[in-house]
Structure 1
Amino acid sequence: MKIDKKVWLYGILLAAVILFPLIITNQYYMQVLILVFIWSIAVYGLNTITGLTGQLSLAHAGFFAIGAYGLGLLTVKGEIPFWLAFIVAIILTAIISLGIGLIALRTKSHFFAIYTMSVGFMIYLIIYKSNLTGGVRGLIGIPNPSPIGPLRFESMISYYYLMLFFLILTIFVMYRIVHSLLGKTFVAIRNSEELAQTLGISVMKNKLLAFVLSAAFAGMAGALYASHVRFIGPQMADIHVAFELLLYLLVGGIGTLAGPIIGTLIVVVLTQMLQFLEEFRMLVFGPIVVLLILFYPRGIVGGYLMWKAKRNRKMDVGVTKSKEGDARAIND
């Protein structure tokens, strides 16, 4: 049986990621990749609402913070077992997003973006001012994930594989959504809400579902982040975090399956490489990002897919002309 080239490529990439900590023992590199895995999960959530349904949500950092603080408060102050608190934090984020989405999704276009940005700022203020969350001091002492049977999550390498597991799970779920009727419904709404309505699609219901799924992924990423760093503060809900997540998505490729992880990897690694410039690193990083977005408006993955589609069309045209030439030669 012939194996598709994509299967070989994905298999090689997966093997490389799995073997990475066994070959490269530098913990700094592992730390960077762990952050890439966590942020990628959040960006996949953003891609659900922004990439698939075309709704620009700027409350994503707020949902990320709700997941993080949900886990932190339940484990530190509620003394609830880690994995139960983890699940409850995700559910709590989804429920809060449901209430917000019922109002937010009645607006459209830039009004929706402004509304969600305001919601994100409100979440930031609540965390910043509340005594329950620790206010500006933040929340410390968040525990490590509890052991699962013989598996313990106390070392850097164990965290690496745990975050990798959740990233692979997220990609698998997103793959199933994108290639399902639900994913096609989301894309139909993104292309034309009016046409989707004429086809009998419940636009509000599906946009709300996409919004809640998006927030749930963000909440899961936030909970994983809190368990990794073990200290969280209100700055994680700041609007600049929401724009960073959007930047990761734009660079990788909005609406694509591989875009979130590729964009996050490139931007995070590039940012780390420019750390030595301190506050001047944006003088280098900024123009690079601007040029990338100018020449690849659909992101790196989107640009590659467009190039591949054009190449296939040219090849199809060439084959068609060749067949027409052969047919004329036979007739002559």
Structure 2
Amino acid sequence: MKYIEGRIGWTLLVLAGLIFPFLTGNDYHLTVMSTAYIFALATLGLNLITGYTGQFNLAHSGFMAVGAYVVGILTVDHQVPFWIAFALSGVVTVLIGLPLGIVSLRLKGHYFSIFTLCVGYIMFLVIEKWESLTHGTVGIIGIPAPTGFGGFVFDSPRALYFLVFGFLVVGAWVMHRIVSSLLGRTFMAIRNSDELAESLGINLSRNKLLSFLLSVFYAGLAGGLYAGFVRFLGPDLAGAHHTFEMTMYMLIGGIGTILGPLLGALTVPWLSQHLQFLQEYRYVVFGPLLIVLVIFVPNGIVGSYLGWKARRNSNAAKALAKPAPASGPASTHPASPQGGATHA
């Protein structure tokens, strides 16, 4: 039943995403939703290392910027076809993340987070100052849109929407397969207790590094999509505020779940768009809202729902397992047929 409910829920979400472009005739809404999908894909990666493995990576937006700049530099400066550059965005991000992961994952808890925060800031400075490579504060302009293949041409906001949505669906499915596998359970064992996981024979360094690399691979691909969709890049993409925004998506939706980060990444941007009239003061609304959610809904929307459902099922199972109370004649004559059946 749980498997069927899960399939129904995901099917409804996919159908909603497919129907959305036909319900809105506004290209601006398609652009907002497509951008939200891209950051949702990156948030899935952050959720893997943070929600499932227990390591809070504050350099995640920096790795997303690396993937974006790989696409921007290769396509604009070296005329590399978009899809080749896009494939390399994930590979290069992993190659850069490998030595950083080996060093940073020797640290635990807050020390790991502080170290990655410094790494993210260094990435931002490199992008901003290395003008010969990244074009500095001027940014990279004129990034080509994704080229079509077969009968598909991505020459309109609706076509780009479906492209980004397709990558999000595939990314969410792959992430679901990862966390549902033995590898995912290994990550969760590390999150729950390093010592216990190590006592079970789990190689902590290797599995933490693998989770970290999978996480930054998602960030790199999301950055590559962002570059092809927005077609302009600046150092701001590597700013730590994007990592904090993705963290907010996880907290609101439910950290350590697949659906939670997606829900947060899709609802918060829409709420932000409806508060545009407040300009920078809209964060005065987000701040108290986030505090209230952390205090009263610490597991997020999806996490709280799953917790409530688990408690309900547990109570129902206990009620079924509890023996029925004995009635008068059966309790006074244990040797009778009624009494024997009641005792059993």
What residue in structure 2 maps to residue 98 of structure 1? 98
* Further displaced range: 46-55 or 293-302: 293-302
When normalised by structure 2's length, the TM-score is 0.93
Task: Measure how far apart 1:290 and its partner are.
Answer: 1.4
Contact 2:42 2:218 in 1 (8 A): yes
**What amino acid is aligned across from residue 286 of structure 1 in structure 2?**
G
Contact kept in structure 2, 1:61 and 1:238, CA below 8 Å: yes
Rg larger for? 2
- Structure 2 SS opposite 1:31: helix
Q: 1:193: Cα distance to partner?
A: 0.9
Task: Return the alpha-carbon distance in structure 2 between the equivalents of residues 140 and 278 of structure 1.
Answer: 26
Query: Greater CA deviation, 23-32 or 210-219?
Result: 23-32
Deviations 1:269-310, CA, capped at 9 Å, x for gaps: 111111111122112222112111211111111111111111
Distance in 2 of aligned mates of 1:244 and 1:274 = 16
The alignment-based identity, stated in percent, is 46
Of 295-304 and 119-128, deviating more is 295-304
Q: Any conservation in 2 of the 1:62–1:238 contact (CA below 8 Å)?
A: yes
Matches of 1:16 and 1:282, distance apart in 2: 29
Quote the Cα distance in structure 1 between the aligned partners of 2:290 and 2:98.
34
Give 2:216's aligned residue.
215
Match of 1:123 in 2: 123
- The whole-number CA distance in structure 1 between the counterparts of 2:105 and 2:87 is 26
Q: Offset at 1:326? A: 6.8
AA aligned to 1:83 is: W
CA deviation string 1:191-210 (max 9, x = no partner):
11111111111110000000
2:134 aligns with 133
Q: Which amino acid aligns with 1:123?
A: M
Does residue 165 (structure 1) correspond to residue 203 (structure 2)? The answer is: no
Deviation at 1:4, TM superposition (A): 2.5
Report the Cα offset of residue 325 of structure 1: 3.0
Give the match for residue 192 of structure 2.
191
SS of aligned partner of 2:325: helix
Bigger mean CA deviation after superposition, 176-185 or 309-318: 309-318
* Aligned partner letter, 2:94: A
Structure 2 letter corresponding to 1:117: L
1:57 alignment partner in structure 2: 57
Equivalent residue number for residue 279 of structure 1: 280
- Corresponding residue for residue 177 of structure 2: 176
Match of residue 260 from structure 2 = 259
8 Å Cα contact 1:140/1:230 also seen in 2: yes
Deviation at 1:5, TM superposition (A): 3.4
Query: How far is the alpha carbon of 1:15 from its aligned partner?
Result: 1.4
The residue aligned with 1:75 is: 75
Secondary structure of residue in 2 paired with 1:220:
helix
Equivalent pair of 2:144/2:228 in contact (CA under 8 Å): yes
Runs (5+) with no aligned partner, structure 1? none
- Give the match for residue 33 of structure 2: 33
Q: Higher mean Cα deviation, 111-120 or 309-318? A: 309-318
Once the two structures are superposed, what CA deviation does each residue of 1:67-86 show, in whole Å capped at 9, x if it has no partner? Answer: 00010001000111110110
The aligned runs of 1:5-16 (5 Å cut-off) are 5-16=5-16
Q: Are positions 1:201 and 2:198 aligned together? A: no
| C-alpha spacing 1:277/1:202, structure 2 compared with 1 (3 Å) | same
Q: Secondary structure at the match of 1:325?
A: coil
Amino acid across the alignment from 1:39: F
**Greater Cα offset, 179-188 or 193-202:** 193-202
Distance in 1, matches of 2:205 and 2:239, equals 28
TM-score of the superposed pair, with normalisation by structure 1: 0.96
Q: Is the 8 A contact 1:39 1:221 kept in 2?
A: yes
Query: 239-248 vs 118-127, which deviates more?
Result: 239-248
* Unpaired runs of at least 5, structure 2: 332-337
Tell me, in whole angstroms, the C-alpha distance in 2 between the residues paired with 1:320 and 1:176: 34
Measured after TM superposition, the shift of residue 90 of structure 1 is 0.9
Between the aligned partners of 2:290 and 2:169, the Cα distance in structure 1 is: 27
C-alpha contact (below 8 Å) 1:138/1:231 kept by paired residues: yes
Range with bigger deviation, 312-321 or 38-47: 312-321
- Secondary structure of the corresponding residue to residue 255 of structure 2: coil
The answer to whether the Cα contact below 8 Å between 1:36 and 1:261 also exists between their aligned partners in 2 is: no
What code does the residue aligned with 1:185 have?
Answer: T
Alpha-carbon contact 1:34-1:163 (below 8 Å) kept: yes
Q: Is the 8 A contact 2:14 2:169 kept in 1?
A: no
Classify the secondary structure of the residue corresponding to 2:15. helix
* 2:73–2:134 Cα contact (<8 Å) kept: yes
- Alignment partner of 1:4: what SS? helix
Does the Cα contact within 8 Å between 1:140 and 1:232 map onto a contact in 2? yes
Distance 1:115-1:195 versus aligned 2 partners, 3 A rule: same
Q: Does the C-alpha gap of structure 1 residues 84 and 326 become closer, same or farther in structure 2, counting only changes over 3 Å?
A: farther
Give the deviation of 1:104 after TM superposition: 0.3
Q: How many pairs were matched up?
A: 330
Query: Which amino acid in 2 is paired with 1:109?
Result: G
How far, CA to CA, are the matches of 1:5 and 1:251 in structure 2? 22
- Offset from partner CA, 1:106-160 (integer Å, 9 cap, x none): 1111000000000000000000001110111111110010111111111000001
Aligned AA (2:129):
K
Partner of residue 86, structure 1: 86
